[in-house]
Chains A and B, each alone.
Chain A
Amino acid sequence: MTYENSCVAVYDEHLRVQEALHILQKNDVNTTNLSLLGKGEGSGTYSTGLYTRGDQVQYRGAQRFFWEEMWRYLPGAAFFWIPTVGTVVVAGSLGAALVVALEEVVNGPDVLGAALYTVGVPDDSVIGYEKAIREGRYLLVVQAEQNEAERVHDLLLSSDVQDMALHLG
């Protein structure tokens, strides 16, 4: 199910993301509408990519174990190269929104914005989020009804979040 409301939290390292996910799981937040976006590169000396082996999604790169753990929590895997942002790895349902944006909406630097717009994120916020991904940070995106999005926001205040906003459609 898609919602026009979302809570977007920015984390500066993957350990903080894992802590945040544990908080959400402990408090019974539905992970079906939860997504994680990141740059997916480590040092720049690794070949990076996504592939499947059987029904397992595998990741080739510096953060292999982190992303493969994320895909176990958050069904849906995607890997893109987007102009002005670079590589973007996605765990969760937002990968499908990116594919729709690529196929139907735009084909250029605005593709991430188009995907985020579907979950209530306006253009002027997209610029900040693109920058965060480009600089190696992580976006945790929770789509939900307004009350649930507000609850998620309050729960994540106890995590070591760098930036967070509530986007209401």
Chain B
Amino acid sequence: MKPGSAFYEASVQCLMQSSFFTDLDQHVVEEMVGRCRRETWKRRRLLPMEETWQRFHILLSGRVRLSRSNPDSGRMITLFLLGPGDPFCIFSLLDGKPHDVMLETLDDVSLLSLPMGEARQWLYDHPEFNRTLLPYLGQQMCALAGLAADLALHDTEARLARLILRHVDEPTQDHPVIPRLINDLSHESLAEMIGSVRVVVNRQLQHWKQAGIVDARRGHLEVEALQELEKRAEEFRH
């Protein structure tokens, strides 16, 4: 993308605010943006990783879901829900291989992309980037470990509560609290993030709604009693 682009400044600002690029000098981020091409993908675009792993992508707007599914049962588990400033696929950047992951756009998205080889070269050319890359990788590993632990150790109510709390910025005095990224997802999508099914999530949200813990309507979720929700998550937050 060239500096003359109408989208250049907004792209640089988006990356500067991303935890993935935090602490980098602006000229380093500008160099990265300059190497990328701008793409947009329509909502509900489904992409197997074989089609995308050879390019490194950074989201500028919208959300992308990375998931795995069982073709026999049709069941799906969401591994990561990515928002503006998030890169993908970080694992292919590191090991140069495709991974068994399906990408789905939840909104119309705009993103930057560049060939994986060039992204890897950029990584070598900017060792200071490791200062932000390693913590980011740590977060990703923690998220996966958290998902595995939730699936193995907690019931659906606790898993749903923990999912919502992971998307609440803290500390917050806001009331009610609107969780990031997930507040307008369907109950089916929420279920796919905690290894459950739509009817169970729907029933649980209705219970919480009656108890005044959340306000859950079609395509809208907000937390009205954060402390109560924390109790449901067994007072253990990531």
Contacts and interface: CB of A to CB of B under 8 A. Distances in A.
The answer to whether A and B come from one shared complex is yes
Interface of A: 4, 10, 12, 120-125, 128, 131-132, 153, 161-169
Given A164-B37, A164-B38, A166-B38, A123 B6 contact: no
Contacts of B235: none
Contact of A168 (B1, B7, B40, B61): B40
A169 B6 CA distance: 21
Given A122-B108, A124-B108, A162-B2, A168 B38 contact: no
17 contacts: A10-B5, A120-B40, A121-B40, A122-B40, A124-B61, A125-B110, A132-B6, A153-B37, A162-B5, A163-B4, A164-B38, A165-B37, A165-B38, A165-B39, A167-B39, A169-B42, A169-B45
Interface in B54-86: 61
Contacts of A12: 4
A131 B7 CA distance: 12
A168 B41 contact: yes
Contact of B110 (A4, A10, A124, A132): A124
B42 A122 contact: yes
Contacts of A121: 40
Interface residues of B, number: 16
Does more than half of chain A's interface fall in helix, strand or loop, or is it mixed? Answer: mixed
A136 B1 CA distance: 20
Contacts of B1: 163-164
A91 to B, nearest CB: 22
A125 B2 CA distance: 16
A153 B55 CA distance: 15
B6 A131 contact: yes
Interface string B100-136: 0000000010100000000000000000000000000
Nearest to B61: A124
A162 B3 CA distance: 8
Contacts of A4: 42
Contacts of A132: 6
A161 to B, nearest CB: 7
B97 to A, nearest CB: 22
Contact of B4 (A125, A153, A162, A165): A162
Contact of B6 (A122, A161, A163): A163
A122 B38 contact: no
Given A153-B37, A169-B45, 19 more contacts: A12-B4, A122-B40, A122-B42, A123-B108, A124-B61, A125-B7, A161-B2, A162-B2, A162-B4, A162-B5, A163-B5, A163-B7, A164-B1, A164-B37, A165-B7, A165-B37, A165-B38, A166-B37, A168-B39
Interface string B1-23: 11011110000000000000000
A10 B8 CA distance: 13
A161 B6 CA distance: 13
Interface string B162-188: 000000000000000000000000000
Contacts of A120: 40, 42
